[in-house]
């Protein structure tokens, strides 16, 4: 479909709660495909949420299979409509980055294991148990649907936020 431009903080759409999707129609499938195309085109991304491409709807895609952190523990490409975490356990602190906050990374505490419920592009209800880096990536993307950035979860902006090294 199309590679879309990533919205960058402080774009106001990134702080909005995204709308629930009532039905999977051609428009929703197009958004899913645009998210996949945008994530793949970025080359380094493991997930993208619809608000990041300017669409305030509850859709995310996640695929950590090409990342060294997620290569050995993943479910491949997850296309999630109306995702909701229904179970979580453990705690993991990881350094996170975000295409919508390109100049910084930060240490964020997240659940180490989650169960997420969502509808896929065919309208089928699914449940996925994820752990490690994949669980972190899913939580990060779902945060975008709730108007949260990783910056909102950094414990201390003084000690846990880092400027990215320029290439």
Q: Of these residues, 79, 96, 134, 141, which one is catalytic?
A: 141
* 53-98 per-position pLDDT tens digit: 999 999 999 999 999 999 999 999 999 999 999 999 999 999 999 9
Architecture of domain 12-163: Alpha-Beta Complex (3.90)
Contacts of 39-47 with C-beta under 8 Å, sequence gap 24+, read: 39/63, 41/3, 42/6, 42/99, 45/99, 46/70, 46/133, 46/137, 47/137, 47/138, 47/140, 47/141
Q: For every one of its 167 residues, what pLDDT tens digit does the chain have, with 9 covering 90 and above?
A: 799 999 999 999 999 999 999 999 999 999 999 999 999 999 999 999 999 999 999 999 999 999 999 999 999 999 999 999 999 999 999 999 999 999 999 999 999 999 999 999 999 999 999 999 999 999 999 999 999 999 999 988 899 999 998 65
Establish whether 141 is a catalytic residue. yes
| Nearest by Cα to 160 from 152, 7, 133 | 152
**Domain locations in the chain as residue ranges:** 12-163
């Amino acid at each position: 479909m199309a590679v879309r431009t990533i919205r960058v903080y402080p774009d106001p759409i990134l702080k909005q709660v995204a709308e629930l999707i009532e039905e999977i129609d051609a428009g929703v499938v197009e958004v899913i495909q645009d998210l996949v195309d945008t994530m793949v085109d970025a080359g380094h991304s493991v997930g993208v949420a619809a608000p990041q491409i300017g669409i305030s709807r509850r859709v995310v895609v996640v695929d950590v299979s090409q990342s060294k952190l997620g290569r050995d523990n993943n479910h491949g490409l997850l296309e999630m409509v109306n995702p909701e975490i229904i179970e979580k356990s453990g705690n993991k602190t990881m350094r996170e980055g975000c295409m919508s906050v390109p100049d910084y990374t930060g240490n964020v505490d997240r659940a180490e294991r989650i169960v997420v419920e969502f509808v896929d592009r065919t309208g089928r209800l699914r449940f996925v148990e994820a752990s490690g880096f994949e669980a972190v990536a899913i939580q990060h993307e779902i945060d975008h649907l709730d108007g949260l950035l990783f910056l909102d979860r950094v414990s201390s902006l003084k000690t846990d936020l880092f400027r990215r090294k320029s290439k």
